[in-house]
């Protein structure tokens, strides 16, 4: 089987109603391209696997992985990236708020030399006022401490090299610190302004206060990781004796 050029990983929890429309939009946005879509069901209770099984009859590019219990968004992304067959991976959320039409632009940024991550940055949030205020505060604090030159790390639209992601230190909520972690590897990060859409079905599965508390501890952990990597070794082979 020929490997695709791109793997799209969608972490999803109780988003069965949104996935059909989202897959149709991905198919349209990437028409003519070689790709696969991996939906990682993170312990859903709404019959998501059955819905995806029916959708796979229409979309042969679709794959589905299931967590027996909810492990969180970062864990779902890691599961999908590990299973990906392409060297490039893109992510977007399963609720339909991320617009797949931005995927080609993200891939174009990834084609630039030395780029390890292309990240969407929302210029319009389809969230409640409380979440917008919390997100604004968290982003400003993160930028001040990590100097990652990123306005918004919570946007689900991202593209990155699979090999780079798999060598990053894993921890819960790591998806919110990808720009800083990729820069720590000596690679460039590019940004793309995107517009969030209103969700068509259901409601958000994530709170405000709980994410803020966990994220604060992780923020200082990432700052420590960056400071501990003072030198990035560069080595070259000066001779080679074949067997």
Which pTM value belongs to this model?
Answer: 0.84
Rounded Cα distance between 122 and 196, Å, is 6
What angle, 0 to 180 degrees and rounded to 10, lies between the N-to-C axes of helices 129-146 and 209-228?
10
Question: For the chain, which residues make up each domain, given as ranges?
Answer: 6-228
What the block records as the tokens of 83 is 């299973």
Question: 3-class SS at 117?
Answer: strand
Strand 6-12 versus strand 35-42 pairing type: parallel
Q: Give the DSSP per-residue string, 29-53.
A: HTTTS-EEEEEEEES-SS-HHHHHH
Q: Which residue has the tokens 């996935």?
A: 19
* Residues 119 and 158: beta-carbon distance below 8 Å: yes
**Fold for the domain defined by 6-228:** Spore Coat Polysaccharide Biosynthesis Protein SpsA; Chain A (3.90.550)
Question: 3-class SS at 116?
Answer: strand
DSSP annotation of 182 reads H
Show pLDDT as tens, one digit a residue, over the chain (243 residues). Answer: 688 999 999 999 999 999 999 999 999 999 989 999 999 999 999 999 999 999 999 999 999 999 999 999 999 999 999 999 999 999 999 999 999 999 999 999 999 999 999 999 998 765 555 555 556 656 666 666 777 778 888 899 999 999 999 999 998 889 989 999 999 999 999 999 999 888 767 666 544 444 554 566 677 777 777 777 766 667 788 777 776
């Amino acid at each position: 089987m020929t490997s695709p050029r791109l793997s799209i990983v969608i972490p999803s929890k109780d988003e069965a109603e949104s996935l059909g429309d989202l897959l149709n939009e991905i198919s349209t946005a990437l028409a003519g391209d070689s790709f696969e879509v991996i939906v990682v069901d993170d312990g859903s209770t709404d019959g998501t696997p059955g819905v995806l099984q029916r959708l796979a009859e229409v979309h042969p590019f679709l794959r589905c992985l299931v967590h027996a219990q909810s492990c969180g968004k970062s864990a779902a992304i890691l599961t999908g990236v590990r299973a990906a067959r392409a060297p490039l991976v893109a992510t977007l959320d399963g609720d339909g708020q991320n617009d797949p039409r931005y995927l080609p632009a993200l891939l174009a940024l990834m084609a630039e030399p030395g780029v390890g991550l292309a990240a969407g940055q929302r210029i319009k949030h389809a969230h409640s006022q409380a979440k917008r205020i919390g997100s604004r505060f968290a982003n400003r604090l993160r930028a001040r401490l990590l100097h990652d030159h990123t306005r918004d790390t919570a946007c689900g639209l991202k593209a990155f090299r699979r090999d780079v992601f798999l060598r990053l230190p894993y921890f819960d909520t790591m998806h919110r610190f990808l720009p800083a972690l990729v820069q720590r590897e000596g690679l460039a990060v590019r940004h793309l302004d995107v517009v969030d859409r209103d969700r068509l079905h259901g409601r958000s599965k994530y709170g405000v206060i709980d994410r803020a508390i966990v994220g604060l501890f992780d923020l200082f952990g990432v700052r420590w990781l960056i400071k501990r990597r003072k030198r990035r070794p560069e080595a070259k082979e000066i001779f080679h004796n074949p067997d």
